[in-house]
Structure 1
């Protein structure tokens, strides 16, 4: 990758993950010169599976990438939620009917496969790609913004997008806050189909076992050749304030009373690494001059709605659509980008939507992990849900809003002890 760019970029993106590359591609499609800086020695992703709902596959189709993503992933038939203790089915989403409703499929794909698709698309679009570039500071200038790197280099552009993740340096320009620990830990594994425990293989479904204080997700990857697993649990060591939390002994203890189907899968988990689950409290301001937050830098969520990567992809699409719209209005007066207008439009809609996702994900996590009588109440309510009731996902899976008035009313979870509860909102992992 080029470490000495010779031309000035219109846009600099700091962070070469899925969100950063998707934003770079979206803006390059608007005939802007875009350069991406990645702190690692090479572009790549770690982890395992991703779930991409229709609000994301719609955008991939817009970029001409959906067919390729589908060929590398799996179009599951259902999302099935079960009780982790007795393996009883609680509710499901019929994903073929979901596609008919929203016009685009629900797709599961290996995180590294989606990252590679976006990286190749950026290369074809002429995006500059620079590695070994840890960013240490951001600053606004008279003509745009500047980034500085650990080795002393600096670069400037009309706009700088900070897609630098949960521990974003740029976020400090807007707010003084810290990541919020949920005290939950995620273990993952993506293993060949033939290695998976036969009795628990998910077939063409996404299967989610919930509670108490844990959940377990399984679904196929890479055309069914692999099985993706995620095991999440509350860490007693984290609750006690100990530094060494989330260890494999805690994993085994957390799932000791779960059903055979879950415990068969636990034997396959990667035990040499685990992911502590953090989010941040939502903020309403993402823009400082010509520096804009995007993805986890702006709105890191807990994973229960499977919308983290999707929100980042939406961020870049929305910003690029506003660049295109204001450029069309300015044709008579000039061809440059009115970044003030584009960024104001971006900030008018994305922070509020992502606040809803972050806060709803917290509520869904509480719902999934109930124990005792409240677990039984939850199970009864979920079993009563109509399979084709989409009231709880219309606001998230429907078309991505470009203006505040397009945002559907927020679905607000109702406590389980409410006398007349509306159907709970189940998914993802």
Structure 2
């Protein structure tokens, strides 16, 4: 007879979205079981950027100080032309920026943020189970049953599907597949001590070039330089996610400034990351299953919002289940239907806008010829009006924490 495990909430997927949701719902008093397919918890990759819409949530959960201790607060985000090296836009992200949005801009190693979230889940008593692959989730009489490929059964009134870009659970709700962008990313870090002297490692630098770009910023208190090189790949367009050799990478940057070409040697050349997203979907819910994070809204990286939106999803679940499912007099599992509907309604339109905008933003970075000249002129002209372009993104907050506007009105 197969083992059956019951909890108030079952989370499927141990990435950023799953861990954040597990922690947030445990804070509401739920018993939470989190299942991870891999035999160990961990994140692959290098750095990520956390804008104020995400760091406000980390502060709410008591995790921001831990993230700041292992991350870096950059002074500026600087956009440059990759062919000339000219600065097109320099946006200060300390001082007035942090005051405007009520929280700092932070860059952090992916594995460090993941560890902070994982430690938080362990601290509050989330039950973490590895080496479990869920095949399907069905709902009957207000109870969701998740069946594992090894025969184990997990039941809960609410299941959170956070199984990533290639989500199996999404297939129960949406008949679609990941969409290849034609671009691939190479990533890497290098100790600052190994770099030539004179490099200032206090900014996020974005070099935009025809059919390619590069992003660099410091990590781990400034001890590491993180580099991400993204370019249009003919081999990926022809169906190869991985391709041996560096000729394609070097060819993509041959006309870029020397600093960018020199930085290619800091990348991990043994693996590349093909860049996918999916078409936005209005429905994330199937009975007592709801998708979050990349399972619900995978997005291209150009707005640096993938992890940020995963945290927003978790905060929305926390807020909308408090006082409805989790009340002062006990737990009302029947309220999950309304909670999932409301989370879906609140989150889907926002994440769809970000998914669509990220695609346009990427196209803007990669234009060539006359389009490049127009882009450069627009970036230069926007220098004094940046907040008009970022308020919708960074000024948003789920009601679990006050938005900057609400904070200003209350003061």
1:336 aligns with 2:332: yes
- Cα distance between partner residues in 2 of 1:307 and 1:268: 25
Could you say what secondary structure the match of 2:201 adopts?
A: coil
Once the two structures are superposed, residues 345-397 of structure 1 have per-residue CA deviations (whole angstroms, 9 ceiling, x without a partner) of 10111011000000000000000001001101110111112345311111110
Aligned 8 A contact 2:325 2:336 in 1: no
Residue in structure 2 matching 1:67, options 65, 69, 92: 65
Task: Quote the residue 2:383 is aligned against.
Answer: 386
How far residue 250 of structure 1 moved from its aligned partner, in angstroms, is: 1.1
Evaluate the alpha carbon distance shift between residue 39 and residue 89 of structure 1 in structure 2; reply closer, same or farther with a 3 A threshold.
same
Residue in structure 2 matching 1:212, options 207, 210, 213: 210
Could you say what secondary structure the match of 1:228 adopts?
A: strand
Q: Give 1:369-384 correspondences, 5 Å limit.
A: 369-384=366-381
Once the two structures are superposed, residues 188-212 of structure 1 have per-residue CA deviations (whole angstroms, 9 ceiling, x without a partner) of 002211223546x441100000011
TM-score w.r.t. structure 2 length?
Answer: 0.93
Task: Quote the residue 2:140 is aligned against.
Answer: 141
Q: Give 1:132-281 correspondences, 5 Å limit.
A: 132-198=131-197, 201-240=199-238, 245=243, 248-281=246-279
Evaluate the alpha carbon distance shift between residue 21 and residue 85 of structure 1 in structure 2; reply closer, same or farther with a 3 A threshold.
same
- Cα distance between partner residues in 1 of 2:293 and 2:11: 12
Evaluate the alpha carbon distance shift between residue 271 and residue 343 of structure 1 in structure 2; reply closer, same or farther with a 3 A threshold.
same
- Cα distance between partner residues in 2 of 1:368 and 1:305: 11
Evaluate the alpha carbon distance shift between residue 182 and residue 109 of structure 1 in structure 2; reply closer, same or farther with a 3 A threshold.
same
Aligned 8 A contact 2:4 2:152 in 1: no
Evaluate the alpha carbon distance shift between residue 356 and residue 402 of structure 1 in structure 2; reply closer, same or farther with a 3 A threshold.
farther
Task: Quote the residue 2:291 is aligned against.
Answer: 293
RMSD value, Cα: 2.0
Aligned 8 A contact 1:202 1:220 in 2: no
Evaluate the alpha carbon distance shift between residue 71 and residue 235 of structure 1 in structure 2; reply closer, same or farther with a 3 A threshold.
same
**Which one scores higher on RCO, CA 8 angstroms, separation ≥ 6?**
2
In structure 2, list runs of 5 or more residues that go unmatched.
406-411
How far residue 249 of structure 1 moved from its aligned partner, in angstroms, is: 1.7
Once the two structures are superposed, residues 141-190 of structure 1 have per-residue CA deviations (whole angstroms, 9 ceiling, x without a partner) of 22321111121111111111110001111111111101000010000002
Once the two structures are superposed, residues 221-259 of structure 1 have per-residue CA deviations (whole angstroms, 9 ceiling, x without a partner) of 000000111000001223345675585221111001100
- Cα distance between partner residues in 1 of 2:86 and 2:30: 53
How far residue 401 of structure 1 moved from its aligned partner, in angstroms, is: 4.0
TM-score w.r.t. structure 1 length?
Answer: 0.89
In structure 1, list runs of 5 or more residues that go unmatched.
409-429
Evaluate the alpha carbon distance shift between residue 24 and residue 247 of structure 1 in structure 2; reply closer, same or farther with a 3 A threshold.
farther
Task: Quote the residue 1:102 is aligned against.
Answer: 101
Q: Which runs of 4+ in 1 moved over 4 A?
A: 4-7, 240-247
Bigger shift: 115-124 or 336-345?
Answer: 336-345
Once the two structures are superposed, residues 273-323 of structure 1 have per-residue CA deviations (whole angstroms, 9 ceiling, x without a partner) of 110000000000001110000100000000000000111111011011001
Aligned 8 A contact 2:4 2:154 in 1: no
